[in-house]
């Protein structure tokens, strides 16, 4: 059974802190295994990747078959039913349109001293996108990672999508094609992350790696950060629904299960200002679990990590939500817009009872790669900016250097960095002698 809390109870604060502190990440010590895998791939390249793929995915490959050939991709894409193709095309169109609005602008100006200042944005040259393929294979993740990268202007884009036992999801390959990606490697796990970070004889090193994965993938991304950039370390999925009694309990129950069915370690929380409504939702969850296809995954998630929290009012609900800082936040209340303005920390907000989180996973437009484990307090979901970098630009004229250079010299001396100060002073002396090299 899920945890039932009421903010009027004397022990509420202690129990709520326990809820926040629940450890949902894998308990297995994966880091030591990942360290060895990364070292092996860095040293032996293709051979290590092939051996590890055979071991973990039961798939025998050669350097020539690490990636899908163009003919293989075409053959698999042809298997996609017309209605599924149309749905994926709609999703790609909406995701692209949303992310095109995120493109930042270069800036350039001349300040009061006459110095020319500004910045320019440019895309990373190459990126590797990880797409999960274990418990479930997600073509939507291809769109959410690859489209922002292409919009940003990334030139070289590859995907690693594990295919355990050689089973291919044609939708994943179609999503790659719709996103403008032709190179898809059928490898996964820590070995895929290591291959993209270090490069092998067949797989080129990339500049940035994005995309969610299991505990081994997360540990590998953490390990290779610095050699390459990464988007974030994603943990198990989570959803918080704030709902009043004027909702269908079954709707809310299904919304909670939409994340519970992802992973046994996923977390689904309901906050409501009506205790009886909370119990009706919990009952609806149990009823749905009787027939849900992925109940073997969703039931443990709801049992071990689910929670129903009753609060005095919606202002208190917003405050508790900020402490949870959920990956997904649904606001199913009368004035959802007003409540959304009171929330500071959330990866994504779904406003109103007609906006289920599942829309955001597929066709809403915003990215579904979002911060988990309370990291929405300090980070954002994947965007075009994750595939771009900002270069600052400065140009001094002699007049500008004369105006601000002495201050730089003083600060350099205060930090005992003599050469810093001399590099400015030598130019100031030339200006004082009447020289000007422009």
In whole angstroms, what is the distance from residue 164 CA to residue 351 CA? 38
Based on the fold, state whether residues 292 and 404 are members of the same structural domain.
Answer: no
Tell me if 279 sits within 8 A of 319, measured CB to CB: no
> Is there a domain that residue 296 lies in?
yes
d(CA 116, CA 207): 30
Whether 50 and 87 map to the same domain: the answer is: yes
Q: Which two tokens stand for residue 227?
A: 């050699």
Within-domain flag for 7: yes
- Give the per-residue pLDDT at 214: 86
pLDDT of residue 182: 80
- The answer to the question of residue 114 being in a domain is no
Kindly state whether residues 173 and 262 are assigned to the same domain.
Answer: no
**For the sheet containing 107-110, what is the strand order?**
107-110, 116-123, 388-395
- Residue 192 is part of which domain span? 31-103+124-234
Same domain membership, residue 79 and residue 188? yes
Do 350 and 217 lie in one domain? The reply is: no
Which entry of 264, 327, 330, 357 is annotated as an active-site residue?
327
Kindly state whether residues 191 and 321 are assigned to the same domain.
Answer: no
Which of 314, 347, 364 represents a domain boundary (last residue)?
Answer: 364
pLDDT in tens, 169-180: 999 999 999 999
Helix, strand, or coil (residue 351)? strand
Number of C-beta neighbours around residue 112 at 10 A: 7
Please write the tens of the pLDDT for every residue from 114-141: 999 999 999 999 999 999 875 567 899 9
> What's the pLDDT at 437?
55
| Domain membership flag for residue 389 | no
User: What's the domain count of the chain?
Assistant: 3
Q: From the CB of residue 333, how many other CB atoms can be counted at a distance below 10 Å?
A: 23
Residue 196: both structure tokens together: 């993209």
Boundary (domain end) residue, out of 234, 269, 285: 234
Q: Which tokens go with 371?
A: 């911060």
Q: What letter would DSSP give residue 248?
A: -
267 and 352 inside one domain: yes
The packing angle between helices 82-100 and 170-178, to 10°, is 40
Contacts of 93 (CB under 8 A, 6+ apart): none
- The verdict on 68 and 197 lying in the same domain is yes
Tens-binned pLDDT, residue by residue, of the chain (438 aa): 899 999 999 999 999 999 998 876 655 688 899 999 999 999 999 999 999 999 999 999 999 999 999 999 999 999 999 999 999 999 999 999 999 999 999 999 999 999 999 999 999 999 999 998 755 678 999 999 999 999 999 999 999 999 999 999 999 999 999 999 989 999 999 999 999 999 999 999 999 999 988 889 999 999 999 999 999 988 899 999 999 999 999 999 999 999 999 989 999 999 999 999 999 999 999 999 999 999 999 999 999 999 999 999 999 999 999 999 999 999 999 999 999 999 999 999 999 999 999 999 999 999 999 999 999 999 999 999 999 999 999 999 999 999 999 999 999 999 999 999 999 999 999 999 986 655
Mark whether 16 and 56 lie in a shared domain: no
Q: Which one is catalytic: 328, 330, 357, 368?
A: 328
Do 221 and 258 share a domain, yes or no?
no
Q: Is 328 a catalytic residue?
A: yes
Picking from 234, 256, 276, the residue at the C-terminal end of a domain is 234
| Among 226, 227, 228, 220, CA closest to 34 | 220
Q: What is the CATH number of the domain that holds 335?
A: 3.40.50.1980
Are both 196 and 330 inside the same structural domain?
no
The answer on 208 and 63 residing in a single domain is yes
What is the pLDDT at residue 28? 62
Q: Please check whether residue 409 lies inside any domain of the structure.
A: yes
Q: Does the residue 385 lie in any domain?
A: no
Position 157 in a domain: yes
Both tokens of 407, joined, read 């201050």
Ramachandran angles phi, psi of 22, nearest 5°: -55, 130
Q: Is residue 340 part of a domain?
A: yes
């Amino acid at each position: 059974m899920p945890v039932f809390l009421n903010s009027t109870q004397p022990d509420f604060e202690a129990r709520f802190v326990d809820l926040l502190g629940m450890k949902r990440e894998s308990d297995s010590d994966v880091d030591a295994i990942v360290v060895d895998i990364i070292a092996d791939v860095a040293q032996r390249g293709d051979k290590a990747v092939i051996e590890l793929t055979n071991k973990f995915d039961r798939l025998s490959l050669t350097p020539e078959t690490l990636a899908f050939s163009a003919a293989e991709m075409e053959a698999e894409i042809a298997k996609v039913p017309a209605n599924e193709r149309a749905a994926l095309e709609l999703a790609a169109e909406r995701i692209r349109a949303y992310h095109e609005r995120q493109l930042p602008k270069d800036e350039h100006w001349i300040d009061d001293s006459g110095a020319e200042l500004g910045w320019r944005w440019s895309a990373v040259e190459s990126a590797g996108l990880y797409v999960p393929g274990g418990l479930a294979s997600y073509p939507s993740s291809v769109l959410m990672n690859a489209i922002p990268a292409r919009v940003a202007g990334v030139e070289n884009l590859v995907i690693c999508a594990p295919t355990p036992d050689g089973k291919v999801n044609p939708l994943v390959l179609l999503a790659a094609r719709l996103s403008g990606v032709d190179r898809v490697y059928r490898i996964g796990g820590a070995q895929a992350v290591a291959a993209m970070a270090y490069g092998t004889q067949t797989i080129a090193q990339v500049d940035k790696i994005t995309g969610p994965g299991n505990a081994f993938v997360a540990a590998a991304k953490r390990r290779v950060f610095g050699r390459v950039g990464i988007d974030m370390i994603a943990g198990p999925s989570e959803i918080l629904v704030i709902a009043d009694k004027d909702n269908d309990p079954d709707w809310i129950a299904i919304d909670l299960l939409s994340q519970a069915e992802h992973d046994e370690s996923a977390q689904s929380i309901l906050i409501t200002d009506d205790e009886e409504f909370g119990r009706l939702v919990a009952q609806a969850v149990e009823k749905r679990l009787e027939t849900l296809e992925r109940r073997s995954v969703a039931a443990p998630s709801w049992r071990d990590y689910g929670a129903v929290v009753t609060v005095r009012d919606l202002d208190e609900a917003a405050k508790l939500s900020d402490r949870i800082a959920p990956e997904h936040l649904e606001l199913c209340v009368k004035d959802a817009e007003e409540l959304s303005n009171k929330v500071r920390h959330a990866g994504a907000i779904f406003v109103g009872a007609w906006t289920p989180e599942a829309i955001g996973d597929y066709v809403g437009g915003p990215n579904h790669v979002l911060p988990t484990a309370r990291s929405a307090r300090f980070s954002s979901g994947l965007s075009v900016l994750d595939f771009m970098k900002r270069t600052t630009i400065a140009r001094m004229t002699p007049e500008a250097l004369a105006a601000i250079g002495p201050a730089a010299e003083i600060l350099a001396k205060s930090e005992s960095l003599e050469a810093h100060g001399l590099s400015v002073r030598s130019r100031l002396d030339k200006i004082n002698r009447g020289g000007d090299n422009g």
